[in-house]
Each structure stands twice: as C-alpha cells, then as structure tokens.
C-alpha cells in the first residue's frame, strides 16, 4: 500500500504550515483537549487529581499508531473515537483507575473542533509573521521606486504614466488591510468547543459550566456563551479571511507575471539555477513563484465555498456538512502557506528594469500623454472641443505612425493656445505622474505607523 500523493507538497505548501496540519498535529490537537479536560475536571473535583496527572503524559501523539487510528476512523466515522479508545487502552495497561476518567463528559466533536481550533491558532501565528515580512518587502519596493515612471494599464492597454512605487504601494495597501483581518482572525476562532453529547453538558450535572470555564483557561481559549458545535460561522469567517489573503497574493502575482512577459519585460523573478526553466527551451525563465500564488488564488475560493455550504448542517450535529470541513480548512491553510512563502520570495528578490519601463512608456510615441494635453487645452477652449481636437490628432498620429507631439505642433489651433515649450512639457511622462508620489508616501506612512505599534507591543 502506497502513501498519499505528496510530490507537489514542496511546490504548493509551506513546511511550517504543513506541520500544523499533518497527521501527528491532528492527533495532538485532540490530545491537548483531552489533557486539558482532565486537568479542568480535576480542579473542579470531578475526577481524581491523580487520574489527571496520569492522563496528561499519555496525551502525546507520537505514542499512538496513526495508521491504526486512520483505519479505525473509516469505520467509526471520525478520528476522535479510535484515538480516545487508544488513549484509554494505553492508560489501562498501567493505571485502570485513571483510564476510566478519560474523555469524561465530552463527545467526539468537542475533541475534533477544539483540536482544530488549536491547530488553526498555531498556523495563524506563523502566517501573521510571514505576512508582516511580506508587508516589509512591499514597502521596500514602494520606497525604492517611488519616483520611477511606469505606464499605467487599464483593460490591458496603455493608459497614463504612474510610478512603479505607486503600483507596489497599492499592493501594500491591500496587504495591510488583510493583515488586520488576519490579526483579528485568532480572536474569532480561538474559542473553546465543549458541549458534550448535544450541547448541554448534562453528563457533568450542575458543574458543566464550571468545567468549561476551567478548560478554556487551561487551553488559553475564549469561552463562548454556549457550545457552538452546530454554529460554523467562526470557521467560515476564518476561511473567508484566508480567501481574501489568497486574492491579495494572487493580485500581486498576476501583476508581476504580466509585467514579466517577454514583450513587456519590466520586472522578473530572481533567476537561479534550476528555477523557472523549461524541459525543452533553455532560454525560458518562467515566473514559478507567481504560478503558485495564482494557483492558490484559483483553488481557495472553491474551498471557502465548501466551508460556507457546510453552515446548513442539521440540528445539533450535522451529517456530512461537518465532515466536509475536516480536510477543507487545513487545505486552505496549506495553500495559503505556500502562496505566501512564494510571494515573499518573489517580492524580496524582484528584479525591476526601470529602463524598460521608460521605453514602454514611449511605445505609443506620446499618445499616453493625450489626456495631459487635453486638460491644458480645455482651460483655453473648453473640454469637449479640446477632447475632439486631441482625439483627431491622436488618430492622425496612429495612422501616419508619427509622434503625437509632432502632429500637435503642426496644428495651428493647438499652437495658438499652447506654446511649443508648454506643449513639450505636457508630453513629458515625468511631469504627468499626478499624486503618485504623495499616495505612495501616505501608504508608507501607514506602514511605518503599524511598524511602530508592533515595536511598542513587542
């Protein structure tokens, strides 16, 4: 029997995030719940303190046969049932009295949901750290190229000049907004699930809430007003936030990959031996980091949709909907981990070809400054007439393959209102960057303020 397909894990995943959701971590999350439950119930006087002391050391995932638990789970319907049986059996070998207190008053969903919460919390901490690194990389790009002219593109066509720093600042701006959402995500998801058979904790009598409070404290989780086993909005909100993150990373990757096309050549992923090559074309330098982020951006929305669809589970414990979450949320995390890792590498090592940016602005021979001329003429003769006049000149420039400036200088109506020196100034891309530099500075100021807050909290 062969193992699962993992050949693509190094491409699409991240080792640290993957480790948060591997087989052992899945079991450990539930075992941490079981150990915490025993400690809480001992403090509440429900089980002997000696039993809790024995249960804790047995709650280590490496002590258990993962393959055997997986096989048993296929018959029992979840992994918590065979794990609790294995934990009980292990304790029974040395301490029968402790063994009978395992999983006291809990149900499988308590262990599974809370275990997943603990896994998500660990993964979120890693993602937030990496996200901060991405913000810093984007801020470096924005500052370094704040005044570097580049053509802006709308509908994939040349529009008007911007700066590459502004483009990087737009990436940074949305990255910071989603970074705030990621920071809030832990508070959303780090909530204890503990309700027993159907959410009443009836098996613990009048001590159910007291145990829940103690257990939440043991696991450093918030205690909700009531068990949330039938309410899946917390996991859905988390999935949605990760979906936003995937979109942000995909947007950065999309722009960079388009700018790296041979015909454009304004940026390139850093080249190194064995990266981005082709099996048949030695000259190829493919944007493989962008490909990973774009693939994740394609896949994650559908996984988020699965999480959203699972909200309609039946009554107190759903049949099928809950089970649909088990692989889906970890897969979202894994894909985000790989996308983020690759995006950071692309951004931090991006090769920016400013000379090519300047050359591309000139491809249209001044047409991208038509708006600048129109606005200047409009002050003299009105906007509608100015627009029509510059539009005719643009059509003539295209038809005769002439620079726009040459056509405009030959038009006596234009030169009657705009002297040649003024006209030449209007056709200078560096003079028509608008608020690019100011917008970039504003975003960088926001970034610096966030950095200062983090440093004060550290």
Catalytic residue IDs = 278, 317
Distance between CA 292 and CA 247 in Å, rounded?
12
| DSSP assignment string, 241-257 | HHHHHHHHHHHHHHHHH
Distance between CA 50 and CA 72 in Å, rounded?
30
Q: Output the 3-class SS for 139-198.
A: HHHHHHCCCCEEEEEECCEEEEEEEHHHHHHHHHHHHHHHHHHHHHHHHHHCECCCCCCC
CB 188 within 8 A of CB 237: yes
CB 260 within 8 A of CB 287: yes
CA 416 to chain centre: 55
Token match 């959203």: residue? Answer: 308
Distance between CA 127 and CA 378 in Å, rounded?
51
Residue 133's nearest CA partner among 451, 456, 452 is 451
The set of residues, in sequence order, having a beta carbon less than 8 Å from that of 384 and lying 6+ positions away, is none
CB 353 within 8 A of CB 268: yes
Cα within 13 Å of Cα(318), Cβ side: 18
């Amino acid at each position: 029997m062969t193992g699962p397909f993992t050949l693509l894990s190094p491409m699409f995943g991240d080792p640290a995030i993957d480790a948060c959701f591997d087989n052992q971590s899945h079991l450990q999350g539930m075992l941490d719940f079981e150990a915490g439950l025993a400690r809480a119930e001992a403090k509440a006087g429900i089980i002997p303190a000696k039993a809790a002391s024995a249960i804790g050391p047995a709650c280590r995932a490496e002590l258990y046969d993962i393959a055997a638990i997986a096989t048993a789970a296929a018959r029992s319907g979840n992994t918590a049932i065979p794990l609790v049986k294995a934990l009980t059996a292990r304790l029974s070998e040395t301490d029968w009295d402790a063994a009978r207190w395992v999983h006291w008053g809990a149900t499988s969903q308590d262990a599974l949901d809370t275990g997943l919460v603990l896994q998500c919390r660990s993964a979120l901490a890693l993602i937030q750290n990496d996200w901060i690194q991405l913000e810093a990389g984007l801020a470096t790009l924005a500052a370094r190229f704040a005044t570097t002219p580049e053509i802006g593109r709308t509908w994939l066509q040349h529009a008007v000049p911007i700066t590459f720093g502004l483009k990087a600042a737009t990436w940074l701006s949305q990255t910071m907004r989603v970074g705030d959402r990621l920071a809030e995500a832990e508070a959303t998801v780090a909530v204890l699930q503990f309700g027993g058979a159907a959410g009443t904790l009836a098996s613990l009598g009048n001590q159910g809430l007291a145990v829940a409070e103690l257990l939440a404290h043991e696991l450093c989780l918030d205690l909700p007003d009531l068990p949330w086993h039938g309410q899946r909005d917390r996991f859905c909100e988390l999935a949605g936030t990760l979906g936003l993150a995937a979109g942000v990373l995909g947007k950065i990757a999309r722009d960079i990959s388009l700018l790296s096309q041979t015909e454009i050549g304004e940026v390139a992923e850093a080249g190194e031996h064995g990266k981005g090559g082709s099996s048949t074309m030695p000259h190829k330098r493919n944007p493989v980091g962008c490909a990973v982020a774009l693939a994740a951006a394609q896949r994650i929305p559908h996984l988020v949709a699965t999480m959203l669809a699972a909200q309609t589970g039946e009554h107190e414990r759903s049949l099928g909907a809950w089970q649909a979450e088990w692989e889906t949320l970890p897969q979202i995390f894994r894909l985000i981990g790989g996308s983020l890792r690759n995006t950071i590498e692309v951004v931090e090592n991006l090769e920016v070809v400013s000379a090519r940016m300047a050359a591309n602005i000139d491809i249209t021979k001044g047409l991208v400054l038509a708006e600048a001329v129109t606005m200047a003429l409009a002050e003299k003769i009105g906007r509608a007439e100015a627009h029509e006049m510059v539009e005719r000149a643009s059509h003539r420039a295209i038809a005769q393959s002439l620079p726009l400036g040459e056509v405009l200088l030959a038009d006596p109506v234009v030169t009657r209102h705009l002297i040649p020196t003024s006209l030449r100034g209007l056709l200078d891309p560096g003079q028509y960057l608008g608020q690019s530099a100011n917008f970039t500075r504003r975003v960088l100021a926001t970034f610096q303020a966030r950095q200062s807050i983090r440093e004060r909290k550290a």
